């Protein structure tokens, strides 16, 4: 299956920067893989293999048992920089 990524997606070494919209840790299963969205600099982010991007984007969740779509999005350049540098520039 071919995955078409938007132009603004950050890709490094076949991994895509994905951001969890809430400020907390998230453990997500996509097939046999488990992805951990860790908190750094108030950003919950993980590097996800390209083939797991559709699964990550389809994750549902929210407060108090809600099942909203769109809880995982593509991370912006600024978010990746802050997360990688732990809040530094």
Predicted confidence at residue 62, as pLDDT, reads: 77
Sign of CA pseudo-dihedral 46, 50, 52, 55: positive
pLDDT in tens, the chain (89 residues): 677 888 899 999 999 999 999 999 999 999 899 999 999 999 999 999 999 999 999 999 877 878 888 899 999 999 999 999 987 66
- Residue 89: its pLDDT value, please? 65
pLDDT at 63: 79
**What integer pLDDT is reported at residue 28 of this predicted model?**
93
CA distance 55 to 24: 19
Count of other CB atoms within 10 angstroms of residue 36: 10
């Amino acid at each position: 299956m071919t995955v078409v990524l938007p132009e603004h997606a950050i890709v490094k070494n076949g991994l895509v920067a994905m951001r969890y919209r809430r400020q907390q840790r998230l453990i997500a299963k996509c097939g046999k893989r488990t992805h951990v969205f860790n908190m750094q600099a108030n950003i919950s982010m993980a590097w996800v293999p390209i083939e797991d991007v559709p699964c990550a984007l389809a994750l549902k969740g929210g407060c108090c048992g809600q099942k909203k779509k769109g809880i995982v999005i593509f991370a912006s350049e600024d978010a990746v920089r802050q997360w990688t540098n732990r809040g530094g520039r």
